[in-house]
Structure 1
């Protein structure tokens, strides 16, 4: 390959560029980014950046020395609008084209929106520009804030808003936030963090609409109630950025379809990060975005799948002064055992984590399948390493 184009100046896109150079590619490297910003770290956006403890300069993932060392052509502030895989050309929104021999798709995902969310005071939180706008809005005095969605982004944003002294309510349409990831009992324990942080959590009720003409004034619930709101933050998940691939020969289904090595059906195209559906699932987590590029680039340069990704899923979330960490693959029917710490009684079934936190093990047929920790980082890391070791034995056929 003489030219490789990375579409997406994201965390995974940057890691792919690094891997290309590390694995010996010395040809032309083009990095295309829809945002005008160089690659930046997204996790702090809902936490330290929102509260003012971190500024923009500290979010940067590269410095001048590394940028020059990569020897890449950076095309920032321009979106990709098409891929002609047969002609090996990336089409850009400004009319330009980039001829290329290989493509790394790293276009990430965009925040899902609600009808009417163009009202002033309604925010999503996915990009640096999103975080800038929300931070500015939060700085205009104490506000009544409604966060729609109790997932990780919603919980982290609610935590930051509460820390800034705002009145915060979190709405979750499901019976509990994070049940698919954690199961009902442990989801209840983590949901109790909201109450401990002074945030009201309303569960089992959907949103019927937003109130307001120019600016939002309230959130209408499906049960007929209306919550007054000066700011509404919509955190209801993300949609993979694949619209630019419509009409190409790249297979799409809730992301770019890839095998276990991040390779598409086209030998010159791989995908990484939030946009990639690898081996049947799409993982929107920092660790996936940093682990996938090594395998993807190796397969791209080989022209076929020579390596596959074997990793234990891992994610973490900082909220209300606690760190929540999870690793493994939980399935319905797994039993949960509290290995360290305890749960205290609470309003939500399952109790609440005490200040000391806890470590919970998910088990199936005598084997640990996943581990959850609240404020027990060292025991968690030991349990995570054991999970990785056991998975390696299973995948190799060992007992």
Structure 2
């Protein structure tokens, strides 16, 4: 098999045992540095992709993609507005809701909570609560039944389970013979949900929409209507179309008005981490410069002989570019294999490390999630591989250029 001369010599130099062991050590460390940098970059970006995906699914599975509310106070004409929104092709589901802040008590336990009045049949289409019930059922929320579905952390804080009762106290007051008293109502716990998000598991309680209307004295009004779309990324445009189509004055908003800055921050953090970790790959890649400079010094007599045999400077330059590029390519491939394997198994490796050292890397009390997710994307892997190989190739240019400028007479004078 005939191979080009620069490729043949470059491969031979790469495989050959060098007289200078330090050059071999620098070559191995350069290759290892690139491999570690690429592995770290693939793993970190996969974890950040998983983190963003998990947050997007969990947060946007609990909040409304879009919301229609009254221009000032409650939404009075929601019963006529709801069918009109349901009939729109761009709306997947619509559900009325009432929001209110209350205190929940049980024995000596007292905690604040956000109460949401919902239609049990419609709520399952706009949130993940019904799909994440660990006891009870949403159907147990009945008009006049005064039942409540609690988040798991909230239920644990109050020390209650399905079938127990809790006292719900609203900030509204009522006059009595003994003076001004807060409004209080006893509710039966008919369900407990766990969406694995402390923000909701520890503060959200659901009751029937009609019970909420009576509790907060809203008559027939509601706080608003929650909307769900098939593609939540198109929510801003669809909300604007709905706002133009609605008769009268309404406040129409979408999820990006509340959470867009958060997801932008996550995306920016991912970009910054890519740049920082790419610098690690860059440092390892530019160690190739040291390797090749010493290799050129070690091979000066060989270069001189090649030149006297008629090799052009471009041929000599190509020999060392190939030699340095091979170090970068091999290191990149090793790092890519290790990074892909680690990214695909990080969700099982991290829990094993946590059990081994009896620690927890991500606390559900602090973060939105309690497990380290991973989402390996081919586009990220390709981008990292191309960048690492490009840096390796760039690092070979100067030493190869110096090799091409070696003067044969000077190199062979002392041989």
Whose strand fraction is larger, Structure 1's or Structure 2's?
1
Would you tell me which structure has more helix in proportion to its own residues? 2
Considering Cα pairs closer than 8 Å and 6+ residues apart, tell me whether 1 or 2 has the greater RCO.
2
Which category describes the TM-score, using the shorter chain as reference length?
under 0.3
TM-score normalised by length of structure 1: 0.19
Task: Report which of the two structures shows the higher radius of gyration computed on alpha carbons.
Answer: 2
